[in-house]
Amino acid sequence: MAPDNPRPVILDVDTGVDDALAIALACRLPELEVIGVTTVAGNVDQRQATENTRRVLHFLGAIDVPVAPGMTGPLVRPHQDARAYHGPNGLGGFELPPSPGRMVGAHAPEFIIQAAREHQGELDMICLAPLTNLAVALRLEPELPRFLHRVVVMGGAFTVPGNITPYAEFNIWVDPEAAAIVARSELPVTFVGLDVTTRVRFTREQWERCRGLDHAEARLIAGISTWAFEHRQVDSYALHDPLCVAALAVPSVVGLDQAAVTVDTGLWNTVGETRLLRGDGARPEHLIALDVDVERFTVLFSETLGLPLA
């Protein structure tokens, strides 16, 4: 049964194959109302992330969702992208038609602050990219933690190795200073890292079955997955960003722990490493997803997007 009052939410993205699927899931879940999407440099540069986001929204018929472009690079370090993983245009080389939709005038951090003030205490954010936009918003509006209801962050590798280095997860590694600002803040953050996101996967079998379907969601996932299954020749890939959307809409999909999160911002090979500090008292504590109900997520993802289960 659809909930009476969907939760207002902003997605912060670097679209990206799994970001595109997260956008689709968020737009289709009855628990959520996507009031805006902000973009940032991450998997691809900010311009490409913005273009991809607009095209994905348009393809899904969600043309009214405003898109606010944000930071064009990390706070301190040079930007390093993940095109090798996500394909030359970030969407596995899949070409979506251009979007005629209007863009928001506001810059992403400003858009986040304005929306948080308007929806005081009710707005959630799902951050699926380097945390540059949110860190800047925090610097511009130190009261932001009072205005936001919850922030779900795709980031970190707490009990497992990283995916960009043996120590670090990509989103945190790209802008560790921004991640450290967010982790040290009083924002009500839920970290959803590789500990759980690598366990929920889209498989080659599902992809092959999607290719016979003709609705927008199936065509999107079939098109953007070609890079993974034909070029990278993997048998499955992780649905990192969609799991974060599910974790906000249906919190019991993940099992949560409580601890303070620290981020390595040094100059050595451990940069971007995320660690858990328990019982420290001096630092704000956050929620960290260390368990996931894989079956529940798979059903939710597949049913919501009209895709085959396996």
The SS3 of residue 151 is: strand
Which region among 14-22, 97-105, 255-263, 271-279 touches ligand BDR (by CB under 6 A)? 14-22
Dihedral (CA of 7, 13, 17, 18) sign: negative
Which region among 1-9, 45-53, 164-172, 293-301 touches ligand BDR (by CB under 6 A)? 164-172
The SS3 of residue 54 is: helix
243's contact among ligand BDR, Ca ion, none, with CB below 5 to 8 A by partner kind, is none
- Per the DSSP assignment, residues forming a β-bridge with 125 are 10, 151
Q: Is 274 in the site for ligand BDR (CB under 6 A)?
A: no
* C-alpha span between 265 and 216 (Å, rounded): 41
Q: Is 18 in the site for ligand BDR (CB under 6 A)?
A: yes
290 residue type, one letter: L
Q: Which two tokens stand for residue 82?
A: 């993940």
Nearest residue to ligand BDR, scored by beta-carbon proximity: 170
Q: Is 240 in the site for ligand BDR (CB under 6 A)?
A: yes
Report whether 43 contacts 51 (CB < 8 A): no
* C-alpha span between 231 and 249 (Å, rounded): 33
Q: Is 241 in the site for ligand BDR (CB under 6 A)?
A: yes
- Per the DSSP assignment, residues forming a β-bridge with 123 are 148
Binding characters for ligand BDR, 119-138, by CB under 6 A (x = yes): ---------x----------
Mark whether 231 is an active-site residue.
no
* C-alpha span between 124 and 152 (Å, rounded): 8
Q: Is 51 in the site for Ca ion (CB under 5 A)?
A: no
Estimate to the nearest angstrom the gap between the alpha carbon of 261 and the chain centroid.
18
The residue among 170 and 202 lying less far from ligand BDR, judged by its C-beta, is: 170
**How far apart are CB 19 and Ca ion at their closest, in Å?**
4
Residue from the set 19, 110, 175, 217 that interacts with Ca ion by CB under 5 A: 19
Residues in contact with ligand BDR, counted by CB under 6 A, come to a total of 13
Residues of this chain that bind ligand BDR (CB under 6 A): 16, 18-19, 43, 82, 128, 154, 163, 169-171, 240-241
